Amino acid sequence: MSIHPTAIVDPAARIGTEVRIGAFSVIGPHVAIGDGCRIHHQVTIDGHTTLGKGCEVFPQALIGLPPQDLKFQGEDTQLEIGDQNIIRELVTIHPGTANGGGITRIGNNNFLLIGVHVAHDCFIGRGCVIANYVQFAGHVHVEDKVNIGGHSAVHHFVTIGKHAFIGGMTRVSADVPPFMVCVAARGTRSEIRMVNGVGLQRSGYSNEDINALKQAFMKMYSRKARASGTAIRDRVQELLETPSLNPHVEYLSRFLMRSFAHGRNGRYLESLRKDPVHRNTWQPGGKHKVAIEVIGGGSVSQGRDISTDPAVQVFELTAMAHDGWRFAGWNGGLSGEANPVQLVVDGDKKVTATFTDS
């Protein structure tokens, strides 16, 4: 072990063998650093953070400091970083929050380049290359062997499938299917452009598997497929019904169907969040506003005005649970479990519909 005399290492920190800690670095009391790690100068590692074996952390990296979340109340949440990760200069990685499961986790053999930000409750798999200044909002899941180009920004609750390639400066606001190349399009949009054939070859996928994925891409995303008038969900379902379907095509198809069935705004993980996620404020033809919030996996539909009294409006609200969820009841401007239910709009109203795992 080699610790520079100007480094501040709390006596309670657990430091493995053959660890090198550079000048002016700070290691907190709840930190565990695995064998063979190199911590360069001016690195801060704090919080309940575990760093696996053989990692290298470059100057100015800030790891394990409290998450940037107004709901965080100082809970003892975790940050777990696996083995053989390279974390370059100015990288920031935050632990989880109680609202998001309490843990941020990064797997093995990842390369995080300068200025990458990994927010609270993110999960990053293994073998990923995250280029300069990529920004992950909270609750993002990145599967294995993903490559993300510099200055890309990933919306919270997005899932990026394994072996995907994200082009530089791409705004990623919806789930990215595995094995695909996603690039910036016009304005703020992004689009699925092609199969990540080069990346799959480098990862040892056979030509047969790559060709099967390319054929699936043509059936899902080609200009001819889009012009067919058949919804992409139906095109994917047709693929799933193919006899002896290639297992990688099946994985791709089921990933997409999960987002279609449960995703809100194209993000599957939105259906699993615990805090209010669906906020819909509308002014139903009068002077009063109605705000609808949904907690859990579901949505609320609003019917037409059924009142016969011109002084008030009455709307029927119907709570619709997603697969695997059940409606638990109304709060706010309504109460109880009646469904559908009538809402009398005689003033501004706020109604919350709660769904729980079935």
Q: How high is the mean pLDDT of the chain?
A: 92
Chain segment 239-280, per-residue pLDDT in tens: 999 999 999 999 999 999 988 877 767 898 887 777 655 556
**Catalytic residue IDs:** 120-121, 138
- 62: three-class secondary structure by DSSP: strand
The total number of structural domains in the chain stands at 3
DSSP 8-state code for residue 270: G
CB distance 323 to 303 below 8 Å: no
What average pLDDT does this structure show over 317-340?
87
Is there a single domain that holds both residue 62 and residue 167? yes
User: What's the confidence (pLDDT) of residue 282?
Assistant: 65
Helix (H, G, I), strand (E, B) or coil at 243: coil
Check whether residue 194 and residue 246 sit in a common domain: no
What digits encode the pLDDT tens for the residues 183-192? 998 777 799 9
Question: Are residues 225 and 161 located together in one domain of the fold?
Answer: no
- 181: pLDDT confidence band, cut at 50, 70 and 90? very high
Containing 3, the helix (H) or strand (E) segment is strand 2-3
Alpha-carbon distance 188 to 186, whole Å? 6
Q: What integer pLDDT is reported at residue 136 of this predicted model?
A: 98
Q: Which residues sit opposite 282 in a β-bridge?
A: 290
Domain C-terminal end among 270, 285, 320: 270
- 24 and 113 inside one domain: yes
Domain that includes residue 225, residue range: 207-270
Listed in sequence order, the DSSP H helices in the chain are: 197-202, 207-221, 223-227, 232-240, 247-262
Instruction: Report pLDDT for 347.
Output: 84
Based on the fold, state whether residues 119 and 165 are members of the same structural domain: yes
Q: Do 114 and 142 fall into the same domain?
A: yes
**pLDDT recorded at residue 210:** 98
Lowest mean pLDDT among 49-63, 275-289, 331-345: 275-289
Instruction: For residues 109 and 16, state if they share a domain.
Output: yes
On whether both 167 and 133 belong to a single domain, the answer is yes
- The answer to whether residues 212 and 148 belong to one domain is no
Give me the CATH number covering residue 197: 2.160.10.10
Domain boundary among 270, 296, 312: 270
Last residue of a domain, one of 270, 303, 325: 270
Residue written as tokens 């430091």?
A: 15
